[in-house]
Amino acid sequence: MAVSKDDCAFCQLVADPQADPTWIADFDHTVAFVNRNQMYRGSVVLITRAHHEDLLAIEDEEFASITRDLRAMAAAVQQAFRPARINYANLGNMMPHQHWHIIPRSEGDASWGKAPLFDAEPVELSDAMCSAVVGQLRLAL
């Protein structure tokens, strides 16, 4: 499912990230956002600035930088929310633009010990809650 850069919702989002209330931080090759629909408290989406539909399309140097961004954001999630474990997902089925889900897991969550559920009923963060989560993550960066 090829999507042109002009029609890509993530390309539009990363073009002016700070206008979005879920924006956390800009990195060299990625932008981090709080997932407003939280299935796991503190979930973050890290989106590439460039429109890449496939991981193999990313040059080695850029991918190394993305990996550093991913680690920095995961460290912030760890510090801010103290999860028992962090899961990472890079799927691209619904949004054909490279991005990673950083998923903090807590013992006793709905699918603890298994892969995270993406079809569970999410909790949509209010503006105030979203702002609080964003603030916690920015402080941890």
- Residue 90 has what pLDDT? 95
pLDDT on residue 71 = 98
The number of distinct structural domains making up the chain is 1
d(CA 84, CA 111) in angstroms, rounded, equals: 13
Residue 111 CB partners (closer than 8 Å, separation 6+): 117, 120
Is 34:24 a contact under the CB 8 Å cutoff? yes
Over the chain (141 residues), the average pLDDT of each successive run of 10 is: 84 96 97 94 96 95 98 98 96 91 92 82 91 97 96
- Three-state secondary structure of 106-134: CCCCCCCCCCCCCCCCCEECCHHHHHHHH
pLDDT at residue number 83: 97
End-to-end CA distance of the chain: 35
Q: How far is CA 74 from CA 23, 46, 56, 70, 89, in A?
A: 15, 10, 22, 6, 12
Domain CATH number, residue 126: 3.30.428.10
- pLDDT confidence of residue 77: 98
Instruction: Summarize the chain as % helix, strand, coil (round to 5).
Output: 35, 20, 40
**Whole-number pLDDT of residue 120:** 72
Which domain does 106 fall in, by range?
5-140
pLDDT at residue 1 in the model: 62
